[in-house]
Every structure is written in structure tokens, then in C-alpha cells.
């Protein structure tokens, strides 16, 4: 029995387009939203009453599950995988006076707490980019400037007008940095791949390290010179314009108006433009980029693509484009919370009917 496919796997075999049975829906909802088998209440709803046989009925059952603490844990896992929070455990820096390895778990937990709030409080993708509050622990607080640190644990704080959304918070900025310097390239790569689902050209077989900056050269100038031969599909159009938006933040995520090169104090240029799917948009700094992303179709499509793949438990294919467009429209609306997008997904045929297969 323990080796039977019917024990090991949740199957949806049968005629293509046929609706899932009540029991199959109960299992699919519970395994996704609670990471567990259906409880008695959900099984009762599946047992002949027809409550799970309609889109509205499935959504009503899902709404109750979304309010269960177990759903928060499931979505914590989703956001952690989506934005690679496991990388905080291996973070290290050399020669950075205000870096203490004890901050690593704080950075991870502050990130999780931010996305816990997005999900639990009925917030949406827009809030990921526009929130002006973040969570801080005792070691993190000084990196935000004159911020009172909690005696222990974590506290939600206003993080200032120069920061908007998760990607201007200390955890993201410290993770994508090289010791005390900003890592503009990998900040840009993360935004392109994780936030915009923008395909990048293959990396070079051998990637040389950034050279020591020349006199009078800012970090941006150094990166630009180092990558100018990579081509438009690589750095010049796809990576650097996004990464340079964060030049006002050093390798420890601290805000700065200028940077130093030896004895020189140099002004920072964090402006840029990016070719989004619906046209080229410009911005002066990271905060303006976050405002652009909060309403940009590509950012909403990317998030809903990742969420739909997580909920459907399969890769997204070309046939799913209309589904993603509809979910992104929900996400971009004024009431488009993450929970609302999930409920809309559950009511779609892609979630509720069989894709086909032999018994």
C-alpha cells in the first residue's frame, strides 16, 4: 500500500476538461493552503453536498483555509523560495566594520515578517513595492540611521522617505552586495529575474571580478566600463539600469547621498530607464522605480506567474497566458490583495478541471 501511486501522489487523471470531484478539490485545496490532508469539515463539504463542485463553492472553502494560521506558513515558504531567503544563512562579509554574522538570521526573519504582513493583512503586490514600513531587529536598526532598536525580537518601524517597498530595505540590499560595496550587477539581476521575469542572455563562461575604481570613478562608472562589452541583452539594457537605481545604498544597506573613492567625495547617480513590456519608463532613484513597478503590468504578471505555478503545482506554459493576464489584472486593481489573486486562481478552470491523462 505504501508504494502505491494512489498513496504517494495526488492524481487528476481522466478526461481532459472534466471537473475534479469534491474529494479531489478538497485534497487540492488543503494540500496547497494548509500543506496537509483535508480535515473532517472539508471532507464533509466534499461528501455529496456539492459544495466544492462550483467555482464559488471552492472559493468559499478556500477563504476559510486562507484565514487558517497554516496558510500563513505556506505563504511564508512561497515568498522565501520566490526571493531566495535561504541565501541569508550563507551571507558573509570581509573587512566591513559594522557587519556581524549575528545579523544574518535577523535579515531573514525581517524579510519573512514583511511578507507575512502582506499576506495576513490582505495587502497586495502594490504594497510589496510601496510600503514605507519594515521590520527590524536589534542588530539591524542602526543600519537605518537614527532608529530606535527593539530590546529584543522584532518591531515594525517607519523606514523613511528614501525607502519604499521591500527592495529598498536593509535585508535585500545587504544580501546583494560585495562586502561594504553595493553589488549593482546582482541587484539588477535579481530585479530582472525575480521581479520582472525578464529573460537574460547567458552569462560569460569566465566572469572577471570588478577592477579597483580609477580616480574620479564612481561605482556606477566602474561597473559601466567593466560591462560595456557584454551587449544589450546582458548588462547594458537589462541588468545595469535596474541595479543602478540602488546606488544610494551601500553594501550594508545604509542610505548615502555621496560615495568616496580614496580621498574623493563623488555624487551618486541612481537614475535610469528600463524597457518594460508596455514601454520604456524612467526613474530618478530606487523609490521612483518602486512606484513604477507598483503599477507596471510586467511586475504584476511576474508575481502572478510565480504564485500560479505554486498553486497549480506545475510549470506555467504558453496556454496559461490568458490566465496570467486575468490574475495580473486582479493583482493590479485597487483591491487586488494576494489572497484575492489566490481566490481568483482557485475559481479558474486551470485549477478546477482535469488536464487529461490515462487512468
pLDDT given for residue 7 in this prediction: 77
pLDDT of residue 233: 58
Q: Are residues 308 and 291 in the same domain?
A: no
User: What is the count of structural domains for the chain?
Assistant: 3
- Give the pLDDT of residue 207: 75
pLDDT of residue 231: 60
Please indicate, yes or no, whether residues 277 and 183 belong to a single structural domain of this protein. Answer: yes
Classify residue 96: in a domain, yes or no.
no
Question: Is 6 domain-assigned?
Answer: no
What is the grid cell recorded at 117? 504582513
Q: Which residue range(s) make up the domain with 248?
A: 176-295
DSSP 99-147: --TTHHHHHHHHHHHHHHHHHHTT-BHHHHHH--EEEE-TTTGGGGSS-
Tell me what pLDDT residue 189 has: 95
Q: What is the pLDDT of residue 358?
A: 46
**Is 291 found in the same domain as 302?**
no
Same structural domain, 247 and 328: no
Residue 31 lies in a domain: yes
- The CB-side HSE value for 221 (13 A sphere, CA atoms) comes to 12
Q: Are 268 and 277 in contact (CB under 8 A)?
A: no
Task: Examine residue 15 and state whether it is found in any structural domain, yes or no.
Answer: no
* Beta-bridge mates of residue 250: none
Tell me what pLDDT residue 320 has.
Answer: 94
Q: Same domain for 192 and 277?
A: yes
Q: Is residue 317 part of a domain?
A: yes
The verdict on residue 344 lying in a domain is yes
Cell matching residue 280: 520604456
Q: Is the dihedral of CA 131, 200, 309, 276 positive or negative?
A: positive
Residue 235 domain-assigned (yes or no): yes
Q: Which of 295, 311, 338 is the last residue of a domain?
A: 295
How many other C-beta atoms can be found within 10 angstroms of the C-beta atom of residue 87?
13
Domain end marker among 248, 273, 295: 295
* Of 4, 31, 34, residue with least CA distance to 20: 31
Could you list the mean pLDDT of each consecutive 10-residue stretch along the chain, which spans 359 residues?
Answer: 80 80 93 94 88 94 96 98 97 95 97 98 97 96 93 94 96 97 96 94 77 94 87 74 97 97 96 95 98 97 97 93 96 94 97 71
pLDDT of amino acid 359: 43
CB 186 within 8 A of CB 174: no
Domain contains 217: yes
Amino acid at each position: 500500500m505504501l508504494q502505491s501511486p494512489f498513496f504517494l501522489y495526488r492524481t487528476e487523471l481522466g478526461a481532459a476538461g472534466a471537473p475534479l470531484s469534491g474529494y479531489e478539490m478538497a485534497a487540492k485545496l488543503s494540500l496547497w493552503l494548509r500543506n496537509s490532508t483535508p480535515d473532517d469539515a472539508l471532507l464533509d463539504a466534499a461528501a455529496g453536498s456539492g459544495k466544492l463542485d462550483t467555482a464559488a463553492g471552492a472559493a468559499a472553502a478556500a477563504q476559510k483555509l486562507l484565514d487558517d494560521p497554516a496558510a500563513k506558513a505556506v505563504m511564508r515558504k512561497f515568498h522565501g523560495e520566490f526571493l531566495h531567503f535561504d541565501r541569508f544563512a550563507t551571507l558573509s562579509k570581509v573587512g566591513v566594520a559594522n557587519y556581524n554574522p549575528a545579523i544574518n538570521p535577523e535579515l531573514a526573519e525581517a524579510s519573512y515578517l514583511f511578507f507575512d504582513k502582506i499576506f495576513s493583512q490582505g495587502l497586495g503586490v502594490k504594497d510589496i513595492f510601496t510600503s514605507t514600513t519594515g521590520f527590524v531587529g536589534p542588530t539591524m536598526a542602526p543600519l537605518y540611521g537614527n532608529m530606535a532598536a527593539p530590546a529584543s525580537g522584532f518591531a515594525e518601524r517607519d523606514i523613511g522617505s528614501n525607502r519604499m517597498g521591500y527592495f529598498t530595505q536593509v535585508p535585500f540590499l545587504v544580501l546583494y552586495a560585495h562586502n561594504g560595496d553595493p553589488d549593482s550587477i546582482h541587484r539588477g539581476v535579481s530585479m530582472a529575474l525575480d521581479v520582472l521575469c525578464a529573460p537574460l542572455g547567458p552569462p560569460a563562461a569566465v566572469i572577471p571580478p570588478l577592477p579597483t575604481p580609477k580616480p574620479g570613478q564612481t561605482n556606477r562608472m566602474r561597473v559601466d566600463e567593466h560591462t560595456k562589452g557584454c551587449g544589450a541583452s546582458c548588462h547594458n539594457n537589462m541588468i545595469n539600469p535596474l541595479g543602478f537605481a540602488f546606488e544610494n545604498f551601500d553594501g550594508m544597506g545604509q542610505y548615502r547621498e555621496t560615495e568616496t573613492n580614496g580621498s574623493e567625495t563623488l555624487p551618486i547617480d541612481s537614475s535610469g530607464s528600463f524597457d518594460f513590456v508596455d514601454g520604456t519608463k524612467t526613474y530618478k532613484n530606487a523609490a521612483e522605480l518602486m512606484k513604477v513597478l507598483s503599477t507596471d503590468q510586467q511586475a504584476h504578471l511576474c508575481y502572478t506567474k510565480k504564485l500560479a505555478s505554486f498553486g497549480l503545482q506545475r510549470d506555467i506554459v504558453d496556454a496559461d497566458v490568458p490566465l496570467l493576464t486575468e490574475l495580473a489584472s486582479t493583482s493590479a486593481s485597487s483591491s487586488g490583495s494576494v489572497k484575492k489573486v489566490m481566490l481568483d486562481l482557485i475559481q479558474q478552470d486551470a485549477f478546477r478541471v482535469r488536464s487529461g491523462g490515462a487512468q
